[in-house]
A = this chain, B = another copy of it.
């Protein structure tokens, strides 16, 4: 580990992973989404975030049961995309350090979590 305040490669990898999650959520939250349009939105989210530097894979699943339940409860056949409708895994590789991150529901809120860090020196 770095003896001073200089970031390690593993720390930089975690910073990069966080950027991807913040980007994903705040770029796409609020997008009009229905059961029909959810698959194309999930594909576009994944492919757009994978453009960002050091991003290995972005896996986006729309929780269709949750979306269907929300649409049944509301007056329209579409709603706004928000965290409760998403399951996301992002893997980042920075200088040989691989970081695995996930967004999962916890206590009714979407929580972005740093799960694994591999390849520290």
Contact = CB atoms under 8 A, between A and B. Distances in A.
Copy number of this protein in the oligomer? 4
25 contacts: A2-B117, A5-B118, A7-B115, A7-B116, A11-B11, A11-B114, A11-B117, A15-B17, A18-B18, A19-B22, A22-B23, A22-B25, A23-B25, A25-B30, A27-B28, A29-B29, A32-B48, A33-B48, A37-B47, A37-B50, A40-B44, A40-B47, A43-B43, A74-B109, A75-B109
Interface string A56-86: 0000000000000000001111101010000
Interface residues of A, number: 63
A16 interface: yes
Interface of A: 1-2, 5-8, 10-12, 14-34, 36-37, 40-41, 43-45, 47-53, 74-78, 80, 82, 99, 101, 107-109, 112, 114-118, 120
